[in-house]
Amino acid sequence: MADDRVRRRVVIRGRVQGVFFRDSIRQRAHARDVAGWVRNRVDGTVEAVFEGKPYDVEQLVRYAETGPPQAEVQSVDVRDEEPEGLTGFEIR
């Protein structure tokens, strides 16, 4: 079953802190049964790790490209990683 899981690390740049970006990602991850975490970084970016079925992870990556209405996303860097078998989703 682990073969059908993927993992993506994303770093989102722009006006992405203080606009409910982390919570909106957490809600969508729970709805799609995607594991991982999301956090604000000191450089003003938001970083997240998504682990789950390829389609569900891709939908979260696509959401990160726009974010919630108050956000102004300038760029999203996406990196493939090996799944670690994470469970649950948390805001760090």
Enumerate the active-site residues. 22, 40
CA triple 38-5-48, angle to 5 deg: 10
Contacts of 69 (CB under 8 A, 6+ apart): none
User: How many Cα atoms sit within 13 Å of 30 on the Cβ side?
Assistant: 8
